[in-house]
Amino acid sequence: MENIKQGQIIYGVRSLEYPDIPCHGIVITASCDIAQKKVKNIHFVSMVSLDRWLLDNCVYSLIEIKIKELRRNLEIWMVSVNLDMKVLQIWELDKIKKLFLQENKGQSNYDKYLLLLEFETFLKTELTEQRRADILLKTLSKEKKTRVQQIMSNQITGYYYIPPNETSYLANSKGYVVNLRDVNTIEFSVFAQMVDGYLDCKINKEILKDEILTKLFYLEEEEDYSYTLDSLKSPRIEHLMQAFSAMFTRIGLDDMCRDLQNKIATSVDVDEIR
């Protein structure tokens, strides 16, 4: 089908990575395979806005990094003053405070310990979007700024940033982040229904009763819909696919014959040296 090609941006698909929102996606199936009808399924990777990525992905990775950093700094200090890290797991908070304050730089390291406990609580608690935003804007503002600069330069493995000037659809956004690990599949015939404009609950309320469609697409209410948008142009799509291929390579070669391997590995032929 001419309207389906690699780099096609779609909207309203489901993703296990982002189960509570209608996601965008980018088709990664080769255009030539689609045109020649060599494929039965269309593959795509999920894509969300930069802010959504910050709230759903970035904040938790930064919290985990901060926990490791605080633990490492505390361990270095405690070793230097002959304290065992095990006391942090056994003793009560008041007792730990008294122990710390007896040592050089005890107050600053006790403050680090309190911060460590706070960050560990973040990971154990279901944080609201507003709470996550507050953590990024206040507690981790410097780390957040660095992380945004890294993603905009595509320096974070597993993700790919698409600037707002790539297509007219993205023009009024801060850009979008593709999750290269989140590969999804939709049967070609089902995908074609979206391309043809069929998946609009306002027009066709019967879609809400279709278990197959509602499982693949975010169609839960009469206002929901799924459709195709603009396409990424060259060389952006090639650059994205290059990043994707670094995560999932398609090329494989047969192993060398084991007998030949052994023959080469166990011999040295002086006459063959030039």
Q: For the segment 28-39, what is each residue's pLDDT rounded down to a tens digit? A: 999 999 888 888
Judge whether residue 10 has pLDDT over 90. yes
Task: Please say if the pLDDT value at position 269 is more than 80.
Answer: no
Q: Kindly report, residue by residue over 138-165, the tens digit of the pLDDT.
A: 999 999 999 999 999 999 999 999 999 8
What's the pLDDT score for residue 37? 85
| Residue 197 pLDDT | 85
Summary mean pLDDT of the chain: 91
Cα diameter, the chain: 80
Mean pLDDT of 187-208: 90
Q: What is the pLDDT of residue 149?
A: 97
Q: What is the pLDDT of residue 139?
A: 93
How much is the pLDDT for 1?
Answer: 54
Supply the pLDDT for residue 246: 87
CB 10 within 8 A of CB 25: yes
pLDDT more than 90, % of the chain: 75
Residue 143 main-chain phi, psi, to 5 deg: -65, -40
Question: What does the pLDDT read at residue 271?
Answer: 64
Q: Which residues contact 205 (CB under 8 A, 6 or more apart)?
A: 222
pLDDT at 270: 62
Encode burial over 26-41: b for 16+ CB neighbours within 10 A, e otherwise. bbbbbbeebeeeeeee
Q: What is the pTM of this model?
A: 0.82
3-state secondary structure the chain: CCCCCCCEEEEEECCCCCCCCCEEEEECCCHHHHHCCCCCEEEEEEEEEHHHHHHHHHHHHHHHHHHHHHHHHHHHHHHHCCCCCCHHHHCCHHHHHHHHHCCCCHHHHHHHHHHHHHHHHHHHCCCCHHHHHHHHHHHCHHHHHHHHHHHHCCCCCCEEEECCCCCCCCCCCCCEEEEEEEEEEEEHHHHHHHHCCCCECCCCHHHHHCHHHHHHECCCCCCCECEEEEECCCCHHHHHHHHHHHHCCCCCCCCCCHHHHHHHHCCCCHHHCC
Cβ–Cβ < 8 Å for 186, 42: yes
Interacting residues of 133 by C-beta distance below 8 A, sequence separation 6+: 55
Per-residue confidence band for 266, with pLDDT thresholds at 50, 70 and 90: confident
Percent of all residues in the chain with a pLDDT value above 70, rounded to a whole number: 95
55: which 2 tokens? 């709230």
What is the pLDDT at residue 252? 60
